Amino acid sequence: MNISATDRQKDESPAVPAPKSPMGLVEIDSGRLTPLQWIERRMLSRPLIGPIAVLVLALIVFSIVSPNFGTLQNFSLILQQVQVIAMLGIAQTLVILTAGIDLSVASIMLLAQVVMGKLAVAVGLPVELALVLGILVGVACGAVNGLIVTRLNIPPFIATLGTLSIFYALNLFISDGESVPYAEVPPLFNWLGQGFQVFGTTFTFGQLLTILMFVLFAYILRSTAWGMHIYAVGDNLEAARLSGIRVNRVLMSVYIVAGLIIGVTAWLLIGRIGSISPTAGASYNLASITAVVIGGTSLFGGRGRIMGTLLGAVIVGVFSSGLSLAGFDNLWQEFTIGLLIIGAVAVDQRLRKIGR
């Protein structure tokens, strides 16, 4: 018999040595692997291998094709371009891990942002208060989604298809469709767009915040009970319920935390575009889902990694920037992003199959 210890790892923590079975019947052959085999197995069994492979490939190809592409400056730019989608992607990932989906993330962001602007500029509240209240609008919208899902028992796709329209209509109602111009936006609102220089390249506080949020939520999902429960609820709701998890409480908390993240993203968006606009980023609903999906998280819930979403967002940004630098028209950029979505997921699946 030649049963070897499985390398399947549910998380990225260092591998626990395969325990000897109490009856000692199991042989472990990891010791017999060559270092190369070991690396291969270790790498291929990682859930992020697919997105990483796609990203590395894209970086190599585009760097060869366009000389302007492979600069630190451009990488910083790409990260700035995708930071809003990536942040929405954190919220989206949380929801998708519970086997849900949130079609309303962009609407919530716009509403929160417009409320911030209205309160600070038209109403004249202190800027800090307006900011906090705007973020709380995000939290409230998340809570509304959560209540519809948990109390009315409506599938998240349908619930957020509804609130997508509702929040967007409120956003237009409050803003009258008008932007607050740059000159009138209080500096605090714009703070996340401010930058600092490293190696002659500009980085922004917004970029930093985005990365920090990813690290934070990667930790939470991997190492806390709440994170574990999110996976359990998404994996099998009924089993989680019977196992004594308060599934409705977990779901509510996920939608509320998602709303909080989206509220913060509203702040990030203002810093990014310099003004407060009721329409900037209305297309980010699907874009955030695209990032999650390319990052290898399953739309059926219970499987995936938050860092995949960051990779997914960056991959889309790299393609969009690379294609544009290589002189492709927007039409063909759209076409290629379509192929990318399918291709990236196909590559991910193929690699994971080999990796097992």
Partner 1 sequence: NAAASSNSGEPLVGLVIKTQDNPFYVKMTEGAKAEAEELGYNLQVASGDGQSDVDSQIKAIENFTAQGAKAILVTPAGDGIIPAIQKAQQAGILVFAMDSPLGAASGIDGTFATDNLLAGQLVGEWAKEALGSTPARIATLDLSTDQIPVDVARNQGFLEGFGIDTADPTKMWDETDPRLVGHEVTDANEAGGRTGMEKLLQKDPTINLVYTINEPTAAGAYQAVQAAGLQDQITIVSVDGGCPGVKNVQQGIIAATSMQFPLEMSKQALQAVKAYLDDGTKPQNSEGLDFTNTGVTLVTDKPQDGIESEDTTWGLDQCWG
Partner 2 sequence: MTTEQTSLDASHARTISDELVIEGRKLVKRYGHVVALDETDFEIRKGEVLAVIGDNGAGKSSLIQCLAGAVQPDEGELLIEGREAHLRSPVEARRLGIETVFQSLAVSPALDVASNIFLGREIRRKGIAGSVFRMLDKKRMRQEALGAMGELGLSTLQNVGQAVETLSGGQRQGVAVARAAAFGSKVVILDEPTAALGVKESGRVVKLIKDINSRGIPVVLISHNMPQIFEVADRVHIQRLGKRIALVETSQIDMADAVALMVGAKTPAQLGLESS
Look at residue 201 and give the partner it binds from its own copies, partner 2, partner 1, none, a contact being a CB closer than 5 to 8 Å depending on partner kind: none
Q: Which residue, 215, 218, 254, 220, is CA-closest to 234?
A: 254
Q: Which residue, 338, 344, 316, is CA-closest to 79?
A: 316
Give the distance, in angstroms, between the CA of residue 52 and the centroid of all CA atoms in the same chain. Answer: 15
> Is residue 150 a contact residue for partner 2 (CB under 8 A)?
no
Look at residue 337 and give the partner it binds from partner 1, its own copies, partner 2, none, a contact being a CB closer than 5 to 8 Å depending on partner kind: its own copies
Residues 6+ apart with CB under 8 A from 177: 278, 279
- For residue 5, give the DSSP letter: P
Distance CA 176, CA 159 (A): 25
Distance CA 146, CA 249 (A): 9
- For residue 180, give the DSSP letter: B
Q: Which residue, 38, 9, 112, 46, is CA-closest to 348?
A: 46
> Is residue 26 a contact residue for partner 2 (CB under 8 A)?
yes
Contact in structure between 85 and 341 (CB atoms under 8 Å): no
**Which region, judged by CB under 8 A, interacts with its own copies, from 2-10, 86-94, 126-134, 283-291?**
283-291
**Which region, judged by CB under 8 A, interacts with partner 2, from 19-27, 133-141, 266-274, 306-314?**
19-27
Owner of token pair 């962009």? 106
- Supply the minimum distance, in Å, between the C-beta of residue 329 and its own copies: 9
Closer residue to partner 1, CB minimum distance, 278 or 308 = 278
Pick the binder of its own copies from 157, 182, 196, 226 (CB under 8 A).
157
Pick the binder of partner 1 from 45, 80, 92, 145 (CB under 8 A).
80
Look at residue 339 and give the partner it binds from its own copies, partner 2, partner 1, none, a contact being a CB closer than 5 to 8 Å depending on partner kind: its own copies
Number of residues that bind partner 2 (CB under 8 A): 43
Look at residue 21 and give the partner it binds from its own copies, partner 2, partner 1, none, a contact being a CB closer than 5 to 8 Å depending on partner kind: partner 2
Distance CA 8, CA 20 (A): 16
Distance CA 83, CA 213 (A): 11
Pick the binder of its own copies from 122, 129, 339, 354 (CB under 8 A).
339
Closer residue to its own copies, CB minimum distance, 116 or 148 = 148
Residues 6+ apart with CB under 8 A from 236: 302
Closer residue to partner 2, CB minimum distance, 17 or 327 = 17
Give the distance, in angstroms, between the CA of residue 128 and the centroid of all CA atoms in the same chain. Answer: 26
How many other C-beta atoms can be found within 10 angstroms of the C-beta atom of residue 319?
23
Pick the binder of its own copies from 3, 169, 198, 212 (CB under 8 A).
169
The type of residue at 251 is: L
Q: What's the token pair of residue 34?
A: 């060559």
- Supply the minimum distance, in Å, between the C-beta of residue 104 and its own copies: 9
Write out the binding residues for partner 2, residues 274-303 only, by CB under 8 A. 302-303
Look at residue 325 and give the partner it binds from its own copies, partner 2, partner 1, none, a contact being a CB closer than 5 to 8 Å depending on partner kind: partner 1
Distance CA 96, CA 12 (A): 20
Burial class (CB in 10 A: 0-12, 13-18, 19+), 211: middle
Look at residue 38 and give the partner it binds from partner 1, partner 2, its own copies, none, a contact being a CB closer than 5 to 8 Å depending on partner kind: none
Look at residue 321 and give the partner it binds from partner 1, its own copies, partner 2, none, a contact being a CB closer than 5 to 8 Å depending on partner kind: partner 1
Closer residue to partner 2, CB minimum distance, 28 or 211 = 28
Distance CA 328, CA 330 (A): 7
Binding site for partner 2 (CB under 8 A): 1-11, 13, 16, 18-19, 21-23, 25-26, 219, 223-226, 228-229, 231-232, 235-236, 238-246, 302-303, 356
Residues that bind its own copies (CB under 8 A): 148, 152-155, 157-159, 161-166, 168-170, 172-173, 286, 289-290, 293, 298-300, 331-332, 334-335, 337-342, 345-346, 349
